[in-house]
Structure 1
């Protein structure tokens, strides 16, 4: 059967990215510590040479089915190299987004529950090397230092979303595991959040937050400081879902080691 997409193209225009997105596919995430099954939202794109009319999108599905059914972030560079050969492309990018849950323990009652985090793993490969990024979002409680300072009692507090992206390389594609990123983020605010709390837990968490007020700026600086000490290139974004304002407070930074 004639392969039309494999015909030559004479317009002399290369394409930066072409491929598939929005592919929902069952995967097993297994990084040696966290092993969970889920449905990932996946995209696969390649750079297309100027003399190629089209890419082989069916091969992208095959790549996902055969190589990504079990996702081990440490082995992603190998998967990307195979994909580059399979698709005969100068560069390839693979992105997988899925929720992962970690067990958290309430501070007083010791009751356990599951806290879910959005996780995205992106790998890119070209002739000049391979890069892997791991992005994790976690929620914390933040209590306003100004509110505490000016109030006779109490202080306004809210839930905050922190997103941290860690950059890896071919030699160290997964320098900080998902559960380690989660632990780092949960320690960055005024207090962590818990799905299941009893009244003694609520007392502990509320008092912990009151004793550790933080601005949104404090959150990203504290996280960045830990990452810098570990020698990690990273990007951080924090958002306070403000409880007494009609707007959110945001902050972000990027650091390259």
Structure 2
């Protein structure tokens, strides 16, 4: 039936004859399957798909061909380096008549993971990690980049020191005239006045991009996310009881950090086992109306 329909991409020339680096689609809704060690789930992704258009004589590519190839991916084939390379090769092959030689893909999705409470046995909740996966094929060479964002809590070391000083002054004001103080009296004072001042803390986030090996068995999603969470030590929690909240308060107190500290912790944690990590951390300040931020880039 299509034989009788006009196809101006074949019968007409572009008004301006020039090559284009990338042509394709953005924001395609697609169910994709993630299969990592201990994890197998379908997620909703937004996908960008493009090929190059090096010939100035060709008016346009065939976007429906790209869409159909993506639609085949939605039939349950798990995302992996090998799956992505096969798809990119098919994208290039589908546009041989357009002289295309390169292709690229970008997947954006939330990795939904169930996380256990810090203390309460059997208590858990769901947490979403924003993830971006970029794949390109140039000259037959596959390049992969994975970006993940992890939320955590950060307590300011400076604010903590200032709060401790005020508590110290309060204690001296009440007990400084005594040569000895009973432990039970100290405990009672702490219970009532230890919050004379409290350090400020805030929800924070780390966004990390790494390169993936073309021959990797999987995407390493949890390896990256777990590495970031273990580095900062205070990932935000889902389901909590009071015991879990207390444990979280202890973690924050034992892991005071400036934005610089967080960036350096993550950088050190990912130095082994991850290729070319680019780190961006933000502390969404509770003291200021602006954020504190730091970047760590390999070789700089």
Q: Decide whether aligned partners of structure 1 residues 190 and 169 sit closer, same or farther in structure 2, where only a CA change above 3 A counts.
A: closer
Identify, as 1 or 2, the structure richer in strand.
1
The answer for the alignment partner of 2:73 in structure 1 is 67
Distance 1:246 1:170 in 2: 42
Structure 2 Cα separation of the partners of residues 244 and 7 of structure 1: 63
Q: How many residues align?
A: 256
Partner SS for 1:233: strand
SS state at 1:52 partner: coil
Match of 1:155 in 2: 199
Q: CA deviation at 1:87?
A: 2.5
- Residue 199 of structure 2 aligns to a residue whose secondary structure is coil
Q: Aligned partners of 2:274, 2:207: CA distance in 1, in Å?
A: 18
Is contact 2:284-2:292 (8 Å) kept? Answer: yes
Query: Unaligned regions of 5+ residues in structure 2, if any?
Result: 165-196
1:186 counterpart residue number: 229
Deviation of 1:241 (Å): 1.0
The corresponding residue for 2:138 is 126
Question: Contact 1:142–1:190 (CA<8 Å) still a contact in 2?
Answer: no
Distance 2:94 2:259 in 1: 45
Q: For 1:87-109, what per-residue CA distance to the aligned partner results, in whole angstroms no more than 9, with x for missing partners? A: 33221111111111122111111
Partner of 1:241 in structure 2?
284
The structure carrying a bigger helix percent of its residues is 2
Distance 1:58 1:243 in 2: 48
Q: Which structure has the greater CA radius of gyration?
A: 2
CA distance in 2, matches of 1:32, 1:207: 31
Q: Name the CA distance, whole Å, in 1 between partners of 2:140 and 2:264.
A: 32
TM-score normalised over the length of structure 1: 0.91
- Residue pair 1:190, 1:214 contacting (<8 A) in 2 also: no
Change (3 A) 1:231 1:9: same
Superposed CA offset, 1:208-227 (max 9, x none): 11111111111122212222
Distance 2:35 2:263 in 1: 28
CA distance in 1, matches of 2:217, 2:296: 22
Match of 2:59 in 1: 53
Question: Aligned pair 1:79/2:122, yes or no?
Answer: no
**TM-score normalised per structure 2:** 0.79
| Aligned match for 1:22, one of 27, 30, 36 | 27
Q: Distance in 2 between matches of 1:163 and 1:251?
A: 11
How much is the aligned-residue C-alpha RMSD, in angstroms?
2.1
2:255 aligns to what? 212
Instruction: State the partner residue of 2:45.
Output: 40
The aligned counterpart of 1:102 is 113
Q: What is the SS of the residue equivalent to 2:264?
A: helix
